[in-house]
Structure 1
Amino acid sequence: MREFSENLLSGKRVLITGGGTGLGKSMGRRFLSLGSELAICGRRKDVLDATAAEFQQAFGRTVQTVACDIRDPESVEAMLDAAWAAAPIDVLVNNAAGNFIAQTHRLSARALDSVLGICLHGTAYCTTGMGRRWIERGRPGTVLSVLTLSALSGAPFTVPSAMAKAGIDAMTKSLAVEWGPKGIRLVAVVPGSFPTDGATSRLNPTVGANGTDAPGVPLQRHGDHVELANLCAFLVSDLAAYITGESVVIDGGRRYLGGARGGVAEMLAWSDEDWARRRAQMPARGAKAS
C-alpha cells in the first residue's frame, strides 16, 4: 500500500470525541503518524490518559485529554474551551457513539434518549460549538463525522442509532452549504464492518465476537482499522479541500447486498424468549458511550 506523505497532516490540530478506544483511537494513531497534533475527549479520564501515554511513547508528542460527557451541553462547552486554551483546533472528528440491539416497541423513553443523546445531540453540540469558535475567530476548519450504514438504509433493532446517524448526515449536508462561505468543510464516513472490542458481540450477537467471517460483504472480510483511518486522514487533509457535504461509504460492497449487518435475518426470526435471553445477557440496558 502506498503511504501518504508523513507530513500530510502537519500543522493541523485534531480533536476526536470518543478518542480513547476503538475507531477513535485508531484514527488518532494514524493522524499522529501523519504529523498532526491531537486532543481526545471521552467520559473516562483514565482511559484517555492511558491512550495518551501510549501515543506519547510511540510518537514522542503530548496528547491533550479532556473528560467530557457530550450529552451535556455545558460539559461540551467546557471541553471545547479547554481544548482551545491549549491551542486552536483545526479538525473536529465526531466519533463518540452509543448503540445496542433491542426490539423497538420495547424501548423506553430513557433507552431512546441514551442513544439519541450521544449520537445526535452530543454530535450537534460539539459541531455547533466548534463552528461558532471558528466563525468568531475567522478561522477555517473541518468536521468529520462517523456514520453507520443504517443512516443511509435504515436498520431494524437499532432504530435510535439509525435515526441519529441519519440526522448527522443531514447536518453534514446542510452545514456544508451554510458554513462553506466561511471556509468550513463538513464530511462524513460511513463504515461497514470494522470490529472493535465489545461492539461486535453487542451488535452482532449471531456472529462470534472474535469471528473472522464477514457475512454479506462481497470482499469477504472485515475492514482493517487502518483502512478507515487512511480514508479519514485524506478527508481532513488539504488533499480533500474541494470535498464538502459528502458521506463516503467504506464497507467492502456490503450495502449493495442489502446493507443489513450480519445476523439481522436470524434476529428477525427470534422469539420473545430469544429476546428475553438476550436482554438477560446484557450487563445493563442502555447505550455504551465512547
Structure 2
Amino acid sequence: MSSAYFQGPWVPAADRALVTGGSSGIGRDIALMLAGAGVEVFVVGRRMERLEAVAAESDGSITPLAADIRDADAVDAAFTAAEAEGGPVPLLVNAASGAFLAAAEDISPGGFAAVVGSSLNGPFQVLRRWAQPLLGAGTPGAAMMVSSALAEREVPGAAHSSAAKAGLEALIRSLAVEWGPRGLRINSLAPGAFSTEGADAGMWSFGPVHDAALDNIPLGRFGASDELLGPAAFLLSRAAGYVTGATVVVDGGWHLSPHPFGSVFPPRG
C-alpha cells in the first residue's frame, strides 16, 4: 500500500500502531498504509494465516497477533506482546466488527449478543487495554474506531449492527471527554456503502438491500476502498492533533437520505 496518503503535514502521529480486524477489508488496507509510511504495525485478528498473508505484503514492519477482541484475556495477550519491546502502543485502529443480514424478528438473542460483542463490547475491551498503559505513563496517543455512516439511522435488516455502532459512537464521545485531558484522542471513521469481502457476503448479498442503498446515495455509486484511506490517514496523523470525539463520515452523502433503505423489509401479513 502506497505511503502517498501521508504527505506534508499528514505525518503519522506515532511510529507504532496496533490494528484490529487487520486481516481483511479496511483494517488490512490501513495496516498496509501505515506500514508503507514507516510505522511499525501489529495486526490483530482471529485467523493467523490471514494475518501472516498481510504481513508478507509489507517490508517486515507488520507483525501478526492472533486474538478475538471479544475475549478480554486474548486482547490483553495481544497488547502485552505488542508492548514487549517498545512499551505502550500510541496508535490504535479498531476495524474488527461483525454483522449479518436479518429481519429483526429473526435475530436470535445469541445472534444479537454476538454482533454487539464484536461491534461494541470488543471495541471497548480494545480501547480500555490500549489506554491503560498510556494513561499510566502519561504518554499521548490516538485511536480511530471504524463505525458506520448509518450508526444514528434506521437500518432495517441490521438492527443489531446499527444499535451496536450507535453505542460505539456514544462510547467514543464519552472517552474523548474522559481521556482528552490526559493526552488521548479518540475518533471515528464512518464508512457508508463500500464493496468489501465481508460486506459483499453480508449486507450486499441481498439484492433489494444492495439496490435500495445504491438508489439512495447522492453520488450514485458505492465507494472504492482507497477512498477511505485519505480520511483515515488524516485522523491518524499529526494534522488531526486538535480533533477528538469526532466522526468523519465517508458515504457519498448516503446519510442524508430520508429513508436510506426504503422499504426493504415490508410488513409481514
Q: Same fold (TM over 0.5)?
A: yes
Residue segments in structure 1 that go unaligned for 5+ positions in a row: 273-290
1:174 aligns with 2:174: yes
| One-letter amino acid of the counterpart of residue 185, structure 1 | R
> Aligned residue for 1:152?
152
Q: 2:96 aligns to what SS in structure 1?
A: coil
| 1:14/1:36 contact within 8 Å kept | yes
CA distance in 2 between counterparts of 1:202 and 1:37 reads 32
> Aligned residue for 1:101?
101
CA distance in 2 between counterparts of 1:105 and 1:159 reads 10
1:33 aligns with 2:30: no
Change in 2 beyond 3 A, CA 1:258/1:180? same
Displaced runs of 4 or more, over 4 A: 208-211
Moved more, 86-95 or 120-129: 86-95
| 1:30/1:226 contact within 8 Å kept | no
Q: Could you list the per-position Cα deviations for residues 78-118 of structure 1 after superposition, in whole angstroms to 9, with x for gaps in the alignment?
A: 11111111423111111100001112122222111110111
CA distance in 2 between counterparts of 1:210 and 1:270 reads 19
CA distance in 1 between counterparts of 2:156 and 2:201 reads 17
Q: 1:231 aligns to what SS in structure 2?
A: helix
> Aligned residue for 1:115?
115
CA distance in 2 between counterparts of 1:96 and 1:259 reads 27
Aligned pair count reads 264
| 1:7/1:35 contact within 8 Å kept | no
CA distance in 2 between counterparts of 1:168 and 1:198 reads 20
| 1:98/1:115 contact within 8 Å kept | yes
Q: 1:77 aligns to what SS in structure 2?
A: helix
Name which of 258, 263, 268 aligns with 2:265.
Answer: 268
What is the Cα deviation at residue 32 of structure 1?
2.0
1:46 aligns with 2:59: no
Change in 2 beyond 3 A, CA 1:246/1:78? same
CA distance in 2 between counterparts of 1:259 and 1:28 reads 34
Residue segments in structure 2 that go unaligned for 5+ positions in a row: none
> Aligned residue for 1:140?
140
Change in 2 beyond 3 A, CA 1:89/1:78? same
CA distance in 1 between counterparts of 2:40 and 2:97 reads 23
Q: Could you list the per-position Cα deviations for residues 236-283 of structure 1 after superposition, in whole angstroms to 9, with x for gaps in the alignment?
A: 1110000011111111111112362xxx436323869xxxxxxxxxxx
**Coordinate RMSD, CA, aligned:** 2.5
CA distance in 1 between counterparts of 2:105 and 2:83 reads 43
CA distance in 1 between counterparts of 2:85 and 2:147 reads 29
Q: 1:144 aligns to what SS in structure 2?
A: strand
> Aligned residue for 1:77?
76
